[in-house]
Each structure stands twice: as C-alpha cells, then as structure tokens.
C-alpha cells in the first residue's frame, strides 16, 4: 500500500519514530566510542599487567638460580605458573640471554627450534619496555621486556609476546555494553511513547471537538485534566471558545429574529395606514396624519437600512477614514452643540469638562461625530430621572487623549456587559422599548479603531455608565 504524499501522520507516530531514530543514532555513536575506549583501556591495562608479570618473573628467575641462567626444566615451571595471569588463551613468555637465544619458554619447544630461533636485536637492544611488533602476516604483537639482573649485571631478559587481537578481546564487556544500549533504546522508546500518547490524547479530543464545532455542534465535552500548562490552557481556551460560540450562536438567532421584526413592523404599519387612506376609511386631516405617520415610519426604516449598508461598507473598508489634525476641545464642543440643538427634550443637561490647555489630535470629525451621536443617544435612552450627561477630556500617558461619556442611567446588567459591542446585540432593557438594529456600539468601536483609537466600556453600575473614547494625540499641550 502506497502512502499519499500529503497524508498527515499522527503526533504519536511522528514523535516516537523520530525520537527512536535519534536515540538509536545517539546510542550507536556512544556504542562506537565506548568500544574504542574499552579496547584502549583494556589494552593499556593488560600491558601494565604484562609489564608487572615480566618484572616479577625476572625477580623469581634470579631468586631461583642464584644469578646463573636457569635450565629450561626449572624455568618452564616458573613460566607455566604465570601462563594464565593475563586472562589470555596463549600468553607466550620467553627467557632469553643477551644474545637473544631462548633459554626457556611457557610453551614446549624442541631443542632444534629453540636453538635455531633468536629474538631480533631491535627488541633486545631497545630501551622501551613495551614494543609494538608487526609480523610478516600483518598480525600485530606487543613485546613486553624485563631485564634479568644480578649484581647490576644483565644476564638476559624475560619477554612476553602477545597478539594485539588477544589483548583487546573482551567479549563479555561487549556483550554487556550491547545489552545496556539495547535496553536504553527500548526504555527510551517506551518512555517517549507513553508520554506522547498521554500528551496527544487531549489534543486529539480537541481536534475532534473542532470538527464538531465546524459542523455547527457546540455542545462538546472535554473532561481531560492535564498537568501540562500549555495543553491545559489549550483545552480550557477551547472550552471557553465553544461556550462563547454557543452563546453567540443563540444570540445571532435571537437577534436575527429581532432585526426581522424591526424591519417588518414599519412595513406592516405603513401598509395598514396606506390601505386605510386608499379605502377612504379616513379622510381630510386624519388622512394627512396617516400619511405623515407613514412617512415617518418610512424614514425610520430608511435609517435602519442605511445603518446596515453603512455598517457592511465600513466592515469591508469601503468607507475611507480621513485623519486630520484638529483641536480636541473645539471638535467636542461643536459635536455636542449640534446634537443638543436636534433634541426635542430640553431637560437633558450636558456637563462638558474640557482640557485647560487644548491639544491637537488626528481624527475624522465626521466619524467622531457618529461615535458621539451613538453614545449620547444611548445615554439619553438609559436615563429616566436625572437626565444629565458628563463629558470629560483628559490626557493619557501614552500620548493619547481619552474622552469619557458618562450617563446617570440604571447601568448595564453584568450578564450583558460582555456583549455590548456585539453586532445586532440589544439588551433586555432596550429590546422592547427602543427601536433599532443593535449596531450602534459595534459600529462606533469599528470607527474608533479605524482612527487608530478605541472605544470601550469603562464602568457601569446602578448610578450610571461610562464609555471611553481613545484618540491619538499629535503633539504636547500648547
């Protein structure tokens, strides 16, 4: 079966296979270095023992003969006592005189062979106690030499001749090293497998839950309590996101019904009024009044449609924002004045607190006026008894200007505060009292952000609500 080129692999398979490959490569390198170190240390250790054995044999040799060369029979017994001291299968120990003639050896030799063989002068005359010798068949031997002396006179030498392949042969150590490396590889793979499976399980559940959300099912259950901070935050954030999406989806359905109702109501009213005029149910002044009411409803419906079109256009960046430098005190005073002269309710009082030293800001005055109109209209609708609005301008440390708009209304319920800037959202207090689409605050926040500022709910209580507009300043106070 062929694997698709772009087919994704699971997190468990991805991490375990790559970790195992990395672990095996690392252990292989460690194994090679360990083998080289074992060979080197074993060779040095056995050569040191061979040197000690040669010296000890030379001392016993002199002790047994009283300073004269030992006959082969006695010397052979001494050598056979040490033939396995190194732990090697065939250690070759020779007693030679100063001319290189073999007097005795650890292995039986015929007299003809012993008399005909002579150690080369390069081994006998060298001052090195340990020498590396290359044989004719490319084998490598080590010759360990210890002089046989009596009264400071060298009578001969003890020579240990050992093959390098025998000196470095440590099969048991290699076997233990292999078992250890294989065990480490299996334990490492098992550990990463178990840890990755534990880590990937909540991620897989989140991925499955995301598919459910994609299909429109927001009722998901994630029960994993994980100790890892990042995974815990992922699961918790996803839970919060789905909970909020579920809330917004229910709000969307409810608000869509509300918007439909808001648009349907004036159409029904207009239809009934015009039908009454057409059927001559009303005549004269009453008919004119019916027509005036119809025109008023048409105007309200046109405004709602215009708000929808403008909001959509602004969302698509189709309506540009032109930022220019203006005096903040003058701009706010003019906007507040224009709003006041259009209000029929003269009982509303606005307390305007301007800066002592005015400051230049970068704004689009038309768009800023839209924000103020939305905030002032909302403040007017929220107030029932004390109809007073406070507008305060004050600088911020970040080189920005803040404008607080505070009403004396009943405040926004805590359950609704998180949704005041959602599109089409209208609180329970306004849903059946105030006609509208619930786009004012959402639109105002978009405008503020387009002017490199912001709009947020600063505080709200039963004593009133304060919204804050943030605007970028252009220079220091004059």
pLDDT of 351-360, one tens digit each? 888 888 878 8
Instruction: Residue 140: give its domain's CATH number.
Output: 3.30.450.20
| Confidence (pLDDT) at 307 | 64
CA distance 183 to 318: 67
- 270 torsion bin: left (phi>0), alpha (psi -120 to 50), beta (else): alpha
Q: What percent of the chain has pLDDT over 90?
A: 2
Report how many domains make up the chain: 3
User: Do 259 and 296 sit in the same domain of this protein?
Assistant: yes
pLDDT of 46 strictly over 50 = yes
Long-range contacts of 165-172 (CB under 8 A, 24+ apart): 165/139, 165/140, 166/88, 166/89, 166/90, 167/42, 167/43, 167/46, 167/47, 167/88, 167/142, 168/39, 168/42, 168/43, 169/88, 170/38, 170/39, 170/42
Instruction: Tell if the pTM clears 0.75, that is, is over it.
Output: no
User: Do 339 and 298 sit in the same domain of this protein?
Assistant: no
Instruction: Residue 249: give its domain's CATH number.
Output: 1.10.287.130
- Minimal CA–CA distance to 373: which of 341, 418, 401? 341
| Confidence (pLDDT) at 468 | 92
User: Do 314 and 327 sit in the same domain of this protein?
Assistant: no
Q: Which residue has the higher pLDDT, 205 or 182?
A: 182
pLDDT tens digits, 231-270 = 777 777 878 888 777 777 776 676 666 667 666 767 777 7
| Confidence (pLDDT) at 157 | 84
| Confidence (pLDDT) at 316 | 60
- Which domain does 41 fall in, by range? 11-173
User: Do 326 and 393 sit in the same domain of this protein?
Assistant: yes
Q: DSSP code of 3?
A: P
pLDDT of 67 strictly over 50 = no
**Is residue 380 in a domain?**
yes
| Confidence (pLDDT) at 73 | 43
User: Do 356 and 275 sit in the same domain of this protein?
Assistant: no
**Is residue 412 in a domain?**
yes
Q: Which of 258, 292, 318 is the endpoint of a domain? A: 318
User: Do 344 and 409 sit in the same domain of this protein?
Assistant: yes
In what helix (H) or strand (E) does residue 103 lie, and over which residues does it extend?
Answer: strand 102-105
Instruction: Residue 453: give its domain's CATH number.
Output: 3.30.565.10
pLDDT of 176 strictly over 50 = yes
Q: Which of 114, 148, 173 is the endpoint of a domain? A: 173
| Confidence (pLDDT) at 404 | 92
| Confidence (pLDDT) at 69 | 46
User: Do 130 and 257 sit in the same domain of this protein?
Assistant: no
User: Do 360 and 313 sit in the same domain of this protein?
Assistant: no
Q: End-to-end distance of the chain based on CA atoms, in angstroms?
A: 78
């Amino acid at each position: 079966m062929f694997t698709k080129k772009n087919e994704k692999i699971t997190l468990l398979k991805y991490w375990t296979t790559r970790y195992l490959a990395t672990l095996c490569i690392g252990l292989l390198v460690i194994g090679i270095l360990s083998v080289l170190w074992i060979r080197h240390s074993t060779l040095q250790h056995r050569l040191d023992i061979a040197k000690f054995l040669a010296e000890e044999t030379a001392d016993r040799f002199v002790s047994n003969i009283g300073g004269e060369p030992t006959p082969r029979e006695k010397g052979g017994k001494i050598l056979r006592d040490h033939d396995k001291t190194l732990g090697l299968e065939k250690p070759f120990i020779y007693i030679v005189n100063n001319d290189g003639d073999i007097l005795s050896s650890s292995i039986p030799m015929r007299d003809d062979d012993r008399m005909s063989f002579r150690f080369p002068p390069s081994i006998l005359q060298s001052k090195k106690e340990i020498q590396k010798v290359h044989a004719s068949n490319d084998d490598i031997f080590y010759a360990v030499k210890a002089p046989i002396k009596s009264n400071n006179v060298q009578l001969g030498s003890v020579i240990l001749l050992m093959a390098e392949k025998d000196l470095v042969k440590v099969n048991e150590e290699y076997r233990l090293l292999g078992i250890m490396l294989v065990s480490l590889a299996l334990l490492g793979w098992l550990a990463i497998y178990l840890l990755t499976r534990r880590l990937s399980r909540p991620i897989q559940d989140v991925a499955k839950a995301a598919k459910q959300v994609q299909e429109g099912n927001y009722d998901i259950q994630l029960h994993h309590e994980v100790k890892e901070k990042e995974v815990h935050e992922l699961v918790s954030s996803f839970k919060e996101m789905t909970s909020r999406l579920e809330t917004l989806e229910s709000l969307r359905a409810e608000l869509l019904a509300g918007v439909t109702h808001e648009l349907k109501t004036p159409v029904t009213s207009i239809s009934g009024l015009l039908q009454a005029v057409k059927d001559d149910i009303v005549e004269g002044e009453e008919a004119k009044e019916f027509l005036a009411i119809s025109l008023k409803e048409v105007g309200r419906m046109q405004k709602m449609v215009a708000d929808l079109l403008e909001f959509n256009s602004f969302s698509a960046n189709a309506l540009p924002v032109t930022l220019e430098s203006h005096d903040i005190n003058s701009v706010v005073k003019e906007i507040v004045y224009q709003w006041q002269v259009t209000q029929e309710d003269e009982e509303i009082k606005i307390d305007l607190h301007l800066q002592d030293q005015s400051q230049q800001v970068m704004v689009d005055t038309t768009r800023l006026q839209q924000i103020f109109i939305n905030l002032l209209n909302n403040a007017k609708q929220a107030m029932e008894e004390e109809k007073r609005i406070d507008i305060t301008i004050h600088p911020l440390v970040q080189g920005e200007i803040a404008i607080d708009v505070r009403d004396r209304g009943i405040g926004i319920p805590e359950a609704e505060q998180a949704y005041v800037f959602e599109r089409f959202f209208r609180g329970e207090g306004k849903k059946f009292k105030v006609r509208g689409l619930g786009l004012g605050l959402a639109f105002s926040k978009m405008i503020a952000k387009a002017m490199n500022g912001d709009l947020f709910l600063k505080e709200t209580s039963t004593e009133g609500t304060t919204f804050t507009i943030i605007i970028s300043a252009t220079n220091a106070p004059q």
